[in-house]
């Protein structure tokens, strides 16, 4: 069998793929390749690690819960009741994805800080948010909400309208229809959205630094611990980073296993 000679266009694709693939992979490889096993174990013993890891888990779980509960209802509203208000809501929910994180942090500070728009009122009632653990949760919820909301809106829009109407005619209230038909059928899309949203929250840095600060055990999450460790001990920073990379890989693996078909519930029931 004779191979066809590569065309210029084909070669351009291969070259571009190789270049970009190399560029994207090299930093990840560098994280692993430049650290000995001993240095890694040494890095794991760094006193910054345990509190940061614990804080990251607690705050990202909290922010995810907030985003999933409120985001599901917002997404349902937007997907099921199209109109001007829904378009506005959708745009607002996308906003944090395009705002630079540092700017988001400044905005959060000016809104919820001691002299902020809402913060001044909260302060008079004895509630201080800025530079506390709840501030970390708010920062993470702010930057990660768009990822879940977008996925949830798309998943709810794909639902077959007839299934929802039939559910009502079978005696289910709108809320029960949401619970028993909407949520289960949109579940694969919602889970994928929640995973992306959580990944974004785990990696959150800029908004947290400006709004919550960098206090060990209180507001210093894993990415901030990496930043802090770098000032004194590059090996420790690298070990912390590898834990984050491992989390990212695990997420990616789960999402790939769910596959693109999982994001389209109800399709197997049509056709036939």
Partner 1 sequence: MLEIAVARKIGSLELRIDLMLNRESVLVAGPNGAGKSTLLRLLLGVLSPDAGRIALDKRVLFDAEKGIDVAAEDRELGYLPQDYALFPHLDVIGNVKFGLSRLRRTDRQRHAEEWLERLGVAHLSRRSPGGLSGGERQRVALARALARSPRALLLDEPFASLDPVARRELRASLRAWLFEWRLPALIVSHDPADAVLADRIIVVERGRVVQQGTIDELRGAAASSFVAGFTAEPA
Q: Which residues bind partner 1 (CB under 8 A)?
A: 160, 162-163, 165-173, 180-181, 184-185, 265-266, 268-270, 272
Torsion of CA 116, 118, 123, 129, to 10 degrees: -80
Nearer to partner 1, 95 or 170 (CB): 170
Q: How far apart are CB 176 and partner 1 at their closest, in Å? A: 8
Least Å distance, CB 172 to partner 1, is 6
Are 135 and 211 contacting, i.e. CB atoms less than 8 angstroms apart?
yes
**CA separation for the pair 100, 89 (Å, rounded):** 20
Q: At closest approach, how far in Å is the CB of 64 from partner 1?
A: 24
- In angstroms, give the least distance from the CB of 74 to partner 1: 22
Q: Which is nearer to partner 1, 52 or 79 (CB)?
A: 79
Instruction: State the nearest-atom distance from the C-beta of 25 to partner 1, in Å.
Output: 39
Minimum separation from the CB atom of position 86 to partner 1 (A)? 18
Please check whether residue 203 is in contact with residue 244, taking contact to mean a CB–CB distance below 8 angstroms.
Answer: yes
Q: Which two tokens stand for residue 242?
A: 């590898």
Both tokens assigned to 170:
């079978």
| Residues 6+ positions from 147 with CB-CB distance below 8 Å | 97, 193, 196, 197, 199, 200
Q: Which is nearer to partner 1, 38 or 83 (CB)?
A: 83
The token duo for 270 is 């049509």
E-assigned strand segments in the chain: none
CA distance 131 to 128: 8
Please identify, using beta-carbon distances, which residue of 65 and 165 lies nearer to partner 1: 165
Pick 96 or 188: Cβ nearer partner 1: 188
Quote the tokens at residue 144: 């990660």
Given the complex with partner 1, which of 77 and 235 has the nearer CB atom? 77
């Amino acid at each position: 069998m004779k191979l066809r000679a590569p065309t210029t266009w084909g070669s351009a694709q291969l070259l571009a793929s190789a270049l970009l693939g190399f560029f994207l992979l090299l930093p990840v490889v560098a994280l692993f390749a430049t650290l000995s096993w001993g240095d890694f174990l040494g890095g794991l013993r760094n006193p910054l690690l345990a509190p940061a890891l614990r804080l990251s888990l607690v705050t990202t779980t909290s922010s995810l819960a907030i985003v999933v509960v409120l985001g599901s209802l917002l997404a349902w509203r937007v997907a099921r009741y199209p109109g001007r208000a829904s378009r506005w809501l959708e745009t607002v929910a996308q906003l944090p994805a395009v705002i630079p994180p540092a700017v988001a942090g400044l905005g959060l500070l000016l809104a919820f800080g001691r002299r902020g728009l809402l913060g001044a009122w909260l302060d008079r009632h004895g509630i201080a948010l800025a530079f506390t653990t709840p501030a970390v949760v708010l920062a993470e919820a702010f930057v990660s909400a768009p990822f879940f909301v977008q996925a949830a809106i798309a998943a709810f829009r794909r639902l077959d309208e007839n299934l929802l109407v039939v559910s009502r005619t079978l005696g289910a209230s709108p809320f029960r229809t949401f619970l028993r038909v909407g949520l289960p059928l949109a579940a694969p899309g919602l889970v994928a959205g929640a995973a992306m949203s959580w990944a974004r929250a785990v990696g959150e840095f800029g908004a947290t630094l400006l709004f919550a600060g960098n206090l060990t055990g209180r507001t210093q999450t894993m990415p901030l611990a990496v930043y802090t460790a770098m000032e004194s001990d590059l090996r420790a920073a690298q070990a912390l980073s590898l834990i984050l990379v491992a989390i990212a890989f695990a997420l990616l693996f789960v999402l790939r296993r769910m596959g693109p078909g999982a994001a389209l519930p109800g399709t197997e029931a049509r056709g036939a």
